[in-house]
Amino acid sequence: MGKAAKRKKKASTSSKAKGSAEPTIAMVKSNPFEVKVNRQKFNILGRKTKNDVGLPGVSRSKAIKKRTQTLLKEYKEKEKTNVFRDKRFGEYNTKISPEEKMIKRFTLERQQNYGKKNIYNLNEDEELTHFGQSLAEIEKLNDVIDSDSDTDERGALSAELTAAHFGGGGGLLRKKASTEQEDEEEEKPKSRKELIEELIAKSKQEKQERQSRRESALELTEKLDNDWKEIQTLMARKPPKSERKDKEAEKPKPDEYDMIVRELGFEMKAKPSERMKTEEELAKEEEARLQKLEADRLRRMRGIGEQENKKKPSHVSADDLTDGFILDKDDRRLLSYKDGKMNIENVEEEEDKEEEEDKEEEEEQEEEEGEKEDNENEEGEEESATEDEEDVASDNHSDLESDLESEEEAAGNKEQKKHKANENESQNVEELDPKMEAAKSELPYTFAVPESYEKFKSLLAGRTVEQQLTILERIQKCNHPSLAVGNKTKLEKLFGFILEYIGELATLDLPELKTIDKLILPLYNLCQMFPEAASGNIKFVLRDAAHEMEEVIEVKGRATFPGLGTLIYLKITSLLFPTSDFWHPVVTPAFIYMSQLLTKCRITTLQDVIKGLFICSLLLEYVSLSKRFVPELINFLLGVLHISLPKKQAQGYTVVHPFTPVGKNLELLLVCDKKDLESWKKQNLPLSVVTRLKELSKTEINHIRLSCLALCFDLIKRCAVLYESLPSFYEIMHPIRVLLTQRVSVSEYPEQMQEWYHGALKELENKTKHYTPLICEKKKPVPLKQYTPKIVKVLEFGRKQGGSKKEQERKRLIHKHKREFKGAVREIRKDNQFLARMQLSEIMERFSQKEKSERASW
Amino acid sequence: MARPALAASLEAVLGDRGNANRVFEILELLAAKEEEDVLCAARTCRRLFAALLRRGELFAGSLPAEEDALRGNYSAEEKYKIWMRHRYNDCVESLSELLGHDSFQVKESSLCTLMKFVELEAECPLVAEQWKGSIAFPRHLLKVVVNGLIPIHEDASLLISRFQEYMEYEDVRYFVMKVVTESIGQVMQKIKERPLPFYQQNVFSLISPINMPNKERDMVKFMMKQDNREEWKVSKLQAHKQAFERMWLTFLKHQLPSGLYKKVLVILHDSILPYMNEPTLMIDFLTVAYGVGGAISLLALNGLFILIHQHNLEYPDFYKKLYSLLDPSIYHVKYRARFFHLADLFLSSSHLPAYLVAAFIKRLSRLALTAPPEALLMVIPFICNLFRRHPACKVLMHRPNGPQDLSEDPYIMEQEEPSESRALESSLWELQSLQNHYHPDVAQAAAILNQSLSEIEDDISGLLELSASELFDKEIKKTSANVPLEFEQVRGLFGKKNDIIAEHFALD
């Protein structure tokens, strides 16, 4: 019973819903029997409730409606094969634009109609008209003048005409009396036709007159406008206010007095400027700047660890008042965690400080010296300054450019000023020579940055070193980045050119090292201006060299030392970039490259030894400040000592890769000739020896060998000093020590060599061995579980928390899938129910019909 | 040109038995001086005897001497066949001589011709069937070929590589292995223990690429086309393995030049041991190699490992030996990755005594003081892994209550016995020194020493093959926003203060 009642109710609602949706819904909502309230068990703050009220009747009727529209239709057409075909032209062709489509359809239609219906249509091209005029002609008319009066007149008939039409004959008669012409013609009686013709003629004439009148009026207004404009300009001169407003009018020349007054108004007021600094102050500033830079360098040298320390987020306890009051935490932590370590660090720091102080002292001394030099060179500088002025005057630079130059100078920091001072110094030296002065005056004063390396070379070709320098300097000045937009890239290119040029100079048969020496200065200046480009260039050079070596290793299985050019590049790297950084984009690759050179390259000739020792010295120079440990360096020095000994089985030490304990290429540095030993004196190894060793006599070669050995001793000594603080210093130096003490026969060396030897040995032996057992930093104790609530930020209610983003996404998808699946199943079930109902009703209907017919037949 | 003449005589011989004597015209040309002629003659021989073999016009069975045949009571047909068979033998002989010819083309051509004969003889055997259905592979002919391939005094690797395509046939491979075994036995017996670098090299390049089948089912490619193959010995994998094993054992029995030694050891674990019936027979060879020292010992380790691991080999003092292998060169040699891979395996056992592991750790880190950065980047995680596996060794990193101010490192590097090296009393000062290494990554890796280690082992498999050029490329590819600059003003190439180079080098 209850169910049946419900169904009835639903049926009624559905029938209602079918009628008009909106108002019924409103009605339904107000009806408490139609509403199903989803009761919530708990009220949750902030939760939006979507489905608290449901309208089961409405939604059911909607669903039924939808099904009758879709499912039922489908069901009814289930086994029917008729198909609707759309034969409209191009209906489903997306390539044709709608307009084209319409045109085509139109033509098709016309074609279809043409044959049948239009046979009798003679008037083929019908003319379309509007107000009796052909539209085509109207379109041709271009001077349609529209005015208000015109439309009025067109719309309403003239008074005379109306009178004639509607006023009967009286009107006409009155008219006749008024006009003279018509008086004369009065005698003749006029027929109606004549009258009408007259009327028409009159109206036409009137129309024409009106036209002409309007035209003349237009003309007049135009003329008036023009006149007004002329007058206006005349008027405009007198009141100054209109001067600014009227822009079309020509601007009168401003009064000179006015201009001056204005200018005075805008001129800078004299302000109290900073006083000139005294020399001492300048020196102090410089010192402070250097100190800052040095501190910066030290920070970089220690590497990232320090930064991390800084960045470590401090723990905030739940009891924190966040009032900014913090105990000196760092100290406490150091004390508690690094008992042994802290002392060491402190010592190191002290040492560092001492070093710094030392350096500062040195710098101070140097600066003092520099000042002295400055004083000495003051005269020269003045000269150069005047010289510069002359330059400016003579090369006809426009004022603008010179202004910019001065700006540039102002913009350049003190550092640059200092460079310039240095440049000036060097110039001074040059300028003392009158000949050079003359030569210089021949050079042009402006240079464009050469586009390609060939042009650059041709620019420098045939010039003396000084001239080359001047050219480079002028190129830099003329193309300062502040002068034009593209100058920066041009100058960046210049850096590459100079670098390439240096490489080329170094690979000559007779390397022009002096020139290279001079070229370093412009290179340094350019590098300071464009660090990125410079580092890019040097990295490129290094990469080339490294890849070349890699290829050689792949092909031959072993590498050879690179040419002098690469060695010079490595040296330049140390001049341009700080070598003490923990990591540096240029220096670190250079380190690795050098280490590869020392381990991979075969030592077969004396040149190889010299090159290797050059790289050793370079490495030592790289690490002189940071005191970093380079195992390859020690290995190589050991190897060099090894090949200076007579062939015997190595005992107590082992040489590693590029050197072999036995085999070829031993005794490269062994000198047996007594005379040569005696006549030897320590000399600096000329770098060019690398390329022309063959020209030397045997004695000279022997001397070079001995110099190499002395250099090796010196390097060992320096290494010993440098690595003294390493905890396993003794082990590192052990093989060298064994070799020096047990294998080298000191007595055969000349006296000077013995000094070098003892110097090295002293540094090696004069160390106290000191080992302290290692202790790890204590692990941070795992904090006890506390009862302070764990506060988790809730970003959105109702969303499941926890898990990574991926996990969350997965969960969400699974949940969604489940819901959709359930929904789909429900829908299918309902569909089936609906269909079953329909089938049942069909059957019932059939039965009832059958019954009816049977009854009828009965 | 001799080509038309050759073609003519070929047709004549094949066409009419009366013209059989024109065979000599062809055979003569095999000894000609012109390379072109020889090639041509070889080709003609191939065609001629191929045709004759197919027709069955060569005498089959044990061949009587030529004179006997003429005198004996053979029919004319048989006489002809015997005579022709003798010509065929002549041809084979001269072709085998041609395998030692100067020109590679000639060699190649004669090799191909001979192998063609082998193929044809396999089809229509020249040996009388011993019993019905027996399979007669032309062993004798193959022996001639193989002997030609491994000459004693010159390098024939090119020809051997040409020969490899025939080694794909299961039966050819089998008989080559047998023939090589015989040949080694004969040649080395004559020479008496003197190494023959060329010969051994040739043998090696012939037998090292041998690709043994894994399953009997895979053995399908035979030169002999016979139906009753299942009963044939050659079709059994067991027989192949045996032949393979005997061949290698014979080869390795004799002293090898050191280059070859290394090559053998490199492929030993991969392509020799798995295909032997009894890999334990290699013990002698490996033990000797392990005792040689240096790189050879390192390489022998791999084979030994397989024997120990899979075949229950008991090796006394294995770890002691391994310990003594550690010398400064291990970080520099080519086989570094392989060695450390194995060392990692050997030291992964948790049953090793702490003193042993500590000795290894200490020695490795002591040697690391001379190692290049790519090796250091590998060995530091390696050592850390050892600490994780053997927590008892952690005293090397962390000794809170130890004696302060030692005057010497208690560890004795020179001691060969790990138990007496006192490694456990020492600390890893070496790694502490490496914290100052110039390479930032190494310094950072070594800095791990200061912290207590995490529980999870580092994966070092990716680091084993690290090369210096990779390190360089990695560094040079890094980009940084700002490039710090040197602030010290330069004065010239050598103008820096404390310039070491300026003190020793001059700009001349």
DSSP sequence for A530-552 = -HHHHHHHHHHHHHHHHHHHHHH
Last residue of a domain, one of B212, B231, B255: B255
Domain count of the fold of chain B? 2
DSSP designation for B505: E
User: CB contact, 8 Å: B4 with chain A?
Assistant: no
Mean pLDDT is lowest, of A457-461, B470-474, B490-494, for B490-494
Q: What is the pLDDT of residues A281-307, one digit of tens each?
A: 888 888 888 888 888 888 888 775 444
Does the structure show a pLDDT above 80 at A602?
yes
pLDDT at A818: 96
Q: Give the Cα separation of B496 and B488 in Å (integer).
A: 8
Q: How far is CA A591 from the centre of its chain?
A: 29
In a domain, B107, yes or no: yes
Give the CA count within 13 Å in the CB-facing half-sphere of A162.
Answer: 6
Confidence of residue B230 (pLDDT cuts 50, 70, 90): low
pLDDT at A392: 40
Mean pLDDT is lowest, of A176-190, A515-529, A597-611, A773-787, for A176-190
Mean pLDDT is lowest, of A271-280, A604-613, A838-847, B55-64, for B55-64
Does the structure show a pLDDT above 70 at A24?
no
Inter-chain touch B399–A635, beta carbons under 8 Å: no
Inter-chain touch A772–B400, beta carbons under 8 Å: no
pLDDT at A400: 41
Q: Are strands B505-506 and A685-686 parallel, antiparallel or unpaired?
A: parallel
Inter-chain touch B507–A591, beta carbons under 8 Å: no
**Count of other CB atoms within 10 angstroms of residue B182:** 15
Q: Give the Cα separation of A360 and A289 in Å (integer).
A: 12
Last residue of a domain, one of B255, B287, B305: B255
Q: Give the Cα separation of B489 and A422 in Å (integer).
A: 9
CA distance A588 to chain B (A): 7
The continuous run of DSSP H or E covering A53 comes out as strand A53-54
Mean pLDDT is lowest, of A52-56, A747-751, B221-225, for B221-225
CA distance A406 to chain B (A): 23
Q: What is the pLDDT of residues A310-329, one digit of tens each?
A: 444 455 555 555 555 554 44
pLDDT at A187: 53
Q: What is the pLDDT of residues A359-405, one digit of tens each?
A: 444 444 444 444 444 444 444 444 444 444 444 444 444 444 444 44
* Residue B506 backbone phi and psi in degrees, to 5: -125, 155
Q: What is the pLDDT of residues A69-95, one digit of tens each?
A: 999 988 888 888 887 788 888 778 888
Most confident stretch, B43-57, B89-103, B465-479: B465-479
Does the structure show a pLDDT above 80 at A800?
no
Confidence of residue A821 (pLDDT cuts 50, 70, 90): very high
Over residues B13-26, the mean pLDDT reads 75
Task: Say yes or no: B141 and B245 in one domain.
Answer: yes
pLDDT at A590: 92
Return the sign of the alpha-carbon dihedral for residues A747, A748, A750, A753.
Answer: negative
Confidence of residue A417 (pLDDT cuts 50, 70, 90): very low
pLDDT at B194: 67
pLDDT at A122: 62
pLDDT at A119: 63
Buried-state track A807-838, b at ≥16 Cβ within 10 A, e below 16: eeeeeeeeeeeeeeeeeeeeeeeeeeebeeeb
Inter-chain touch B471–A583, beta carbons under 8 Å: no
- Tokens representing A561 are 């030392």
Q: Does the complex come out with an ipTM higher than 0.85?
A: no
In a domain, B333, yes or no: no
User: CB contact, 8 Å: B443 with chain A?
Assistant: yes
Q: Give the Cα separation of A511 and B312 in Å (integer).
A: 67
Average pLDDT, chain B: 81
Over residues B229-243, the mean pLDDT reads 76
Q: What is the pLDDT of residues B352-400, one digit of tens each?
A: 899 999 999 999 999 999 999 999 999 999 999 999 889 888 888 888 8
| Residue, of B433 and A795, whose pLDDT is higher | B433
Task: Say yes or no: B124 and B151 in one domain.
Answer: no
Task: Say yes or no: B88 and B147 in one domain.
Answer: no
- Tokens representing A824 are 């789909």
First-to-last CA distance in chain A? 37
Mean pLDDT is lowest, of A161-170, A784-793, B228-237, for A161-170
Q: What percent of chain B has pLDDT over 70?
A: 91
pLDDT at A798: 61
Sequence letter at residue A467: Q
Does the structure show a pLDDT above 70 at A642?
yes
Helix (H, G, I), strand (E, B) or coil at A680: coil
In a domain, B156, yes or no: yes
The continuous run of DSSP H or E covering A37 comes out as strand A36-37
**Residue (of B154, B211, B145, B235) closest to B183 by Cα position:** B145
Report the DSSP beta bridge partners of residue A54. A36
Whether A485 and A477 have beta carbons less than 8 Å apart is answered as no
Q: Give the Cα separation of B428 and B405 in Å (integer).
A: 15
Confidence of residue A238 (pLDDT cuts 50, 70, 90): low
Q: What percent of chain A has pLDDT over 70?
A: 67
Q: Give the Cα separation of A374 and A369 in Å (integer).
A: 8
In a domain, B331, yes or no: no
pLDDT at A676: 80
Over residues B75-90, the mean pLDDT reads 79
Q: Name the residue with tokens 């070709």.
A: A461
Task: Say yes or no: B91 and B2 in one domain.
Answer: yes
Most confident stretch, A10-14, A22-26, B481-485: B481-485
Within B16-103, residue ranges assigned H as helices are 23-29, 35-55, 66-71, 76-98
Task: Say yes or no: B95 and B149 in one domain.
Answer: no
First-to-last CA distance in chain B? 68
pLDDT at B271: 82
Q: Give the Cα separation of A232 and A253 in Å (integer).
A: 19
pLDDT at B361: 93
Confidence of residue B226 (pLDDT cuts 50, 70, 90): low
Average pLDDT, chain A: 74
Most confident stretch, A840-844, B99-103, B408-412, B455-459: A840-844
Inter-chain touch A531–B495, beta carbons under 8 Å: no
Q: Name the residue with tokens 């409405």.
A: A58
Q: How far is CA B53 from the centre of its chain?
A: 39
Report the DSSP beta bridge partners of residue A576. none
Instruction: Compare all CA atoms of chain A with the CA of B431 and give the residue at the minimum distance.
Output: A728
**Residue (of A473, A484, A522, A528) closest to A502 by Cα position:** A522
Q: Give the Cα separation of A708 and A614 in Å (integer).
A: 10
pLDDT at A160: 54
DSSP sequence for B164-179 = GGGGGSHHHHHHHHHH
DSSP designation for A33: T
Q: What percent of chain A has pLDDT over 90?
A: 14
* Residues of chain B contacting A581 with CB distance shorter than 8 Å: 484
Q: Give the Cα separation of B124 and B223 in Å (integer).
A: 12
In a domain, B279, yes or no: no
Confidence of residue A157 (pLDDT cuts 50, 70, 90): low
Confidence of residue A224 (pLDDT cuts 50, 70, 90): very high
**Residue (of B337, B485, B365) closest to B426 by Cα position:** B365
Task: Say yes or no: B11 and B61 in one domain.
Answer: yes
pLDDT at A164: 52
In a domain, B33, yes or no: yes
Last residue of a domain, one of B255, B285, B311: B255
Task: Say yes or no: B55 and B158 in one domain.
Answer: no
pLDDT at A268: 65
Does the structure show a pLDDT above 90 at B401?
no
Q: How far is CA B452 from the centre of its chain?
A: 45
- Tokens representing A618 are 């370079």
| Residue, of A176 and B101, whose pLDDT is higher | B101
Does the structure show a pLDDT above 90 at A209?
yes
pLDDT at A125: 56
pTM, whole model, 2 decimals? 0.61
Q: Would residue B294 be called left, alpha or beta, if left means φ above 0 and alpha means ψ between -120 and 50 degrees?
A: left
Give the CA count within 13 Å in the CB-facing half-sphere of B206.
Answer: 33
Q: Give the Cα separation of A640 and A644 in Å (integer).
A: 6
Task: Say yes or no: B74 and B180 in one domain.
Answer: no
Most confident stretch, A637-651, A692-706, B129-143, B314-328: B314-328
* Residues of chain B contacting A599 with CB distance shorter than 8 Å: 332, 372, 468
Does the structure show a pLDDT above 90 at A345?
no
Q: What is the pLDDT of residues B447-460, one digit of tens each?
A: 888 877 777 888 88
Task: Say yes or no: B148 and B124 in one domain.
Answer: no
pLDDT at A359: 47
Contacts across the A-B interface (CB distance below 8 Å): 250
Q: How far is CA A22 from CA A33, A55, A59, in A?
A: 18, 13, 13
Mean pLDDT is lowest, of A426-430, A552-556, A707-711, B30-34, for A426-430
Task: Say yes or no: B76 and B189 in one domain.
Answer: no
In a domain, B352, yes or no: no
Q: What is the pLDDT of residues B122-141, one digit of tens each?
A: 777 666 555 555 566 777 77
* Residues of chain B contacting A524 with CB distance shorter than 8 Å: 489-490
Buried-state track A411-429, b at ≥16 Cβ within 10 A, e below 16: ebeeebeebbebbbbbbbe
In a domain, B1, yes or no: yes
Task: Say yes or no: B142 and B123 in one domain.
Answer: no
Whether B369 and A630 have beta carbons less than 8 Å apart is answered as no
CA Rg, chain B, in Å? 33
Residues within 8 A of B (CB atoms), A 537-566 only: 539, 542-543, 546-547, 550
Confidence of residue B405 (pLDDT cuts 50, 70, 90): confident
CA distance B52 to chain A (A): 51
Pick A624's closest partner by Cβ from B373, B487, B498. Answer: B498
Task: Say yes or no: B107 and B157 in one domain.
Answer: no
| Residue, of B393 and B25, whose pLDDT is higher | B393
| Residue, of A714 and B189, whose pLDDT is higher | A714
Whether B199 and B152 have beta carbons less than 8 Å apart is answered as yes
Residues within 8 A of A (CB atoms), B 321-350 only: 327-329, 331-332
pLDDT at A127: 62
Q: State the residue range of the domain holding B157.
A: 134-255
Q: Are strands A36-37 and A685-686 parallel, antiparallel or unpaired?
A: unpaired
The continuous run of DSSP H or E covering A54 comes out as strand A53-54
